[in-house]
């Protein structure tokens, strides 16, 4: 693969980011799993309190260590305060950086801005590893894996953490563990999450039970673009809320061995039920989605994602013919290519909302076919 | 054409009733025009007051005259109190009889029932002429023409009226004119109407103006199946309300030469506007309808009619390719074939609502294609 990340126009050879590869365990339900560690430098004030010079300092310290730490055979470094808005938007859509890092504004504290020093390092070409500098914390180490693969993601994140710590002095308390900007991350600084595709549970209406059960188990349920985003496209991000007083191993074990397998089985049961007892209803939903995707001339992101969700379900359950255009990875990739910044990159110019809706429909008509 | 009316299964050779032929003046907007005369026999009590024997008498008198009057080279006579429910439903869907005549119950008065003597004569194979006996009035003479053709329809209805009057004594008052069961028909007993397809005015939102203007001119605006039915499929029936104190010629002149041409021009203007200024929005609507019609597995009558309306607009405005499956007459005919009784005739058995929705979607997938 000759291409390198978000810099080239998309085509059939678009490099597929790790989280859309449709590989690994339970990838029929689990789009991806993700491990994130929050770390801060001892010698620089936390982001909410730092001035521009201090941010520049934490950025330089982290970047230097990133480039010598050997965290990936190939890695890209991007200083985000110097990047164009569309470049930052592309990285947000690819889940390489958060919206917050894109804006340069530290959440609750409301400090900082688009010119404030901050950056991201990410592995090429798969974007499996992404390390944000000067987001809410000085360092946010993220490892994403296709399918259910928290252990491996955790292992890699832990390894990167060690390599970074080898050259950086972390803020750490014997009593509390790793210190973070927001108290909800203090302790392990660890967040583990899975991006689940739960269309059958939505169709049967049982999705609300899953949400309630997750809440009872102190898990967070979020949408496709994390905190504050809606669960469009039947995509739900389930993650641990607790970082204090539980070991990394305990968090991993509870999510990977207990909670996620149950949700996965629940969704699979609902899918089998649709096939066995409500096949025509299922086919109606899937084929209508196909009909709209392959014929519309205007489409919002939300409608596209909802229709692609049904297409994905149809591909998985054998409702749609097994053609290359309708395989799981091709459909997953469309979830990314229909996003606003990717559309604008594809046509090579800025588009207003109406133009984006047209470009989105055109791309989908071109790619969604039997 | 060897087939004769609603008795045979539909196929590509289904005889197209007059009102769906897509012929004649302004047939891009005017599906059909219709003239109806209400007449009663002097010697038999009106329907609301008649007992079963008296209804039998009016039925016999009218039927005998119908069969000798020579109103059409070929005519079918059907005694509806002896017809199966599905056969009556087919005739209602084909606009040969009213729902009221199907039920055998005289409207406001609430007398009569399904066993009460009543019948219909209709011309074959086009069903252009239909004469109902013992509906609200003893005789209801209906002539339907494709396109805008009120004069010809009026001429033929008037001729049939003369032929019937030659052997029947009508209830007539020198002061009021023809006497009818309901006072709104007294005088000429004449109702003229046009079934208009107004999708562009609906899309631009100007349809409400047309409705208001029609109301101001003392015209009635009704749906596809007459009084009390909704305007599904963007089909609107506009008719005169006044029967007393205006001559037939005056009613005809005002509708055919003044009112209808204005509505037609208004719709055509809206269509040109869509093509010139909102082409992509138009294409989006049309192609989405195509996508749903050619892919859904379940469909209600309402959704099918609404989607067919857009398909019809797309065919007329050159948005869709000019294939035989998408020509105007083929689309018009689908408006009929998706109706419940026609679907049941097509599959040769009774269907519950869910089965009808499946059969409707199957028929549409089979027939709607590029």
Q: Which residues pair with B75 in a beta bridge?
A: B123
Residue A292 token pair:
């709209």
Same domain, yes or no, for A313 and A197?
no
Distance, CA of B363 to CA of B356 (rounded, Å): 10
What is the DSSP track for A171-222?
-EETTTEE--SSGGGTBT-EEEEEEEE-HHHHHHTTHHHHHHHHHHTTEEEE
Same domain, yes or no, for B246 and B284?
no
Please identify, among A215, A247, A269, the residue that sits at the C-terminal boundary of a domain. A269
- pLDDT attached to residue A37: 97
Same domain, yes or no, for B73 and B205?
yes
This model of the complex carries an ipTM of 0.89
Burial tier of B172 (Cβ tally within 10 Å: 0-12, 13-18, 19+): middle
Residue A60 lies in a domain: yes
Residue A147 lies in a domain: yes
Q: Residue A12: pLDDT above 60? A: no
B206 touches chain A (CB under 8 A): no
Give the CA angle between residues B309, B311, B312 to the nearest 5°: 65
B291 touches chain A (CB under 8 A): yes
For residue A221, give the nearest of A207, A233, A211 by alpha carbon: A211
Domain of A233, CATH number, reads 3.30.590.10
- pLDDT attached to residue A244: 82
- pLDDT attached to residue A330: 94
Residue A84 token pair:
């164009």
Nearest-Cα residue of chain A relative to residue B285: A296
B277 touches chain A (CB under 8 A): no
Residue A285 lies in a domain: yes
Same domain, yes or no, for B226 and B321?
no
B287 touches chain A (CB under 8 A): yes
> The dihedral of CA B251, B254, B257, B259: what is its sign?
negative
Nearest-Cα residue of chain B relative to residue A362: B284
* Chain A residues in contact with B283 (beta carbon < 8 A): 297
Range of the domain at B296: 279-367
For residue B314, give the nearest of B302, B306, B326, B324 by alpha carbon: B326
Residue A148 lies in a domain: yes
Q: What are phi and psi of B70, to 5 degrees?
A: 65, 45
Nearest-Cα residue of chain B relative to residue A298: B284
Same domain, yes or no, for B246 and B294?
no
Same domain, yes or no, for A255 and A334?
no
B366 touches chain A (CB under 8 A): no
What pLDDT digit, counting tens, does each position of A346-365 carry? 999 999 999 999 999 999 99
SS3 A354: helix
A281 touches chain B (CB under 8 A): yes
Same domain, yes or no, for A190 and A318?
no
Sheet holding A119-123, edge to edge: A75-79, A119-123, A129-133, A139-146, A30-39, A190-197, A235-240, A219-222
Same domain, yes or no, for B158 and B37?
yes
Residue B4 lies in a domain: no
Determine how many CB atoms are found less than 10 A away from the CB of residue A56: 17
Q: How far from B122 is each of A52, B128, B177, B192, B203, CA to CA, in Å? A: 89, 7, 26, 19, 37
Residue A234 lies in a domain: yes
The answer to whether the beta carbons of residues B14 and B127 sit under 8 Å apart is: no
Q: What are phi and psi of B183, to 5 degrees?
A: -60, -25
Same domain, yes or no, for A168 and A247?
yes
Q: Which residue has the tokens 């965290």?
A: A71
A321 touches chain B (CB under 8 A): no
Please identify, among A211, A244, A269, the residue that sits at the C-terminal boundary of a domain. A269
Please identify, among B237, B269, B301, the residue that sits at the C-terminal boundary of a domain. B269
Same domain, yes or no, for B240 and B313?
no
Residue B307 lies in a domain: yes
**Number of domains chain B is built from:** 2
pLDDT tens digits in sequence order for chain B, 370 residues long:
333 344 333 445 678 899 999 999 999 999 999 999 999 999 999 988 889 999 999 999 999 999 889 888 899 999 999 999 999 999 999 999 999 999 988 766 667 788 899 999 999 999 999 999 999 999 999 999 999 999 999 999 999 999 999 999 999 999 999 999 888 899 999 999 999 999 999 999 999 999 898 888 889 888 877 666 667 899 999 998 877 888 899 999 999 999 999 999 999 999 999 999 999 999 999 999 999 999 999 999 999 999 999 999 999 999 999 999 999 999 999 999 999 999 999 999 999 999 999 999 999 999 999 8
Same domain, yes or no, for A206 and A63?
yes
Question: What is residue A254's DSSP assignment?
Answer: I
- pLDDT attached to residue B2: 37
* Chain B residues in contact with A288 (beta carbon < 8 A): 291-292, 295-297
The answer to whether the beta carbons of residues A332 and A21 sit under 8 Å apart is: yes
Residue A61 lies in a domain: yes
Contact check, Cβ <8 Å, B284/A290: no
The answer to whether the beta carbons of residues B180 and B244 sit under 8 Å apart is: no
Same domain, yes or no, for A60 and A144?
yes
What pLDDT digit, counting tens, does each position of A273-304 carry? 999 999 999 999 999 999 999 999 999 999 99
**Residue by residue, what is the 3-state secondary structure of A40-83?**
CECCCCCHHHCCHHHHHHHHHHHHHHHHHCCCCCCEEEEEHHHC
Contact check, Cβ <8 Å, A298/B284: yes
Give the CA angle between residues B9, B10, B14 to the nearest 5°: 125
What pLDDT digit, counting tens, does each position of A51-62 carry? 999 999 999 999
Q: Which residue has the tokens 């739960």?
A: A198
């Amino acid at each position: 693969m000759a291409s390198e990340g978000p810099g080239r126009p998309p085509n059939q050879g678009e490099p597929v980011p790790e989280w859309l590869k449709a590989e690994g365990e339970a990838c029929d339900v689990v789009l991806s799993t993700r491990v994130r560690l929050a770390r801060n430098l001892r010698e620089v004030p936390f982001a909410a309190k730092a001035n521009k010079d201090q941010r520049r300092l934490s950025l330089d310290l982290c970047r230097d260590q990133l480039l010598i730490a050997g965290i990936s055979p190939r890695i890209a470094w991007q200083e985000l305060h110097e990047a164009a808005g569309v470049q930052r938007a592309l990285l947000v859509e690819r889940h390489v950086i958060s919206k917050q890092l894109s804006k340069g504004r530290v959440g609750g504290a409301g400090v900082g801005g688009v010119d404030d020093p901050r950056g991201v390092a990410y592995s090429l070409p798969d974007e499996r590893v992404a390390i944000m500098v000067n987001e809410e914390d000085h360092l946010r180490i993220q490892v994403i894996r296709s399918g259910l693969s928290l252990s491996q993601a955790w292992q890699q994140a832990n390894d990167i953490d060690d390599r970074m710590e080898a050259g950086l002095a972390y803020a750490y308390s014997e009593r509390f563990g790793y210190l973070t900007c927001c108290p909800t991350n203090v302790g392990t600084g660890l967040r583990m999450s899975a991006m689940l595709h739960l269309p059958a549970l939505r169709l049967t209406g049982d999705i609300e039970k899953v949400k309630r059960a997750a809440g009872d188990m102190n898990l967070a349920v979020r949408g496709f673009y994390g905190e504050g985003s809606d669960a469009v496209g039947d995509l739900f991000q389930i993650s641990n809320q607790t970082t204090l007083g539980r070991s990394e191993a305990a968090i991993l074990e509870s999510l990977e061995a207990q909670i996620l397998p149950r949700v996965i089985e629940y969704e699979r049961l609902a899918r089998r039920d649709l096939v066995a007892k409500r096949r025509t209803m299922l086919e109606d939903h899937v084929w209508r989605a196909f009909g709209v995707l392959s014929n519309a001339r205007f489409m919002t992101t939300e409608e596209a994602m909802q229709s692609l969700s049904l297409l994905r379900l149809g591909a998985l359950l054998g409702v749609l013919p097994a053609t290359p255009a309708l395989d799981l990875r091709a459909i997953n990739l469309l979830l990314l290519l229909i996003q606003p910044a990717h559309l604008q990159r594809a046509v090579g110019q800025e588009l207003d909302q109406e133009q984006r809706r047209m470009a989105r429909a055109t791309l989908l008509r071109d790619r969604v076919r039997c």
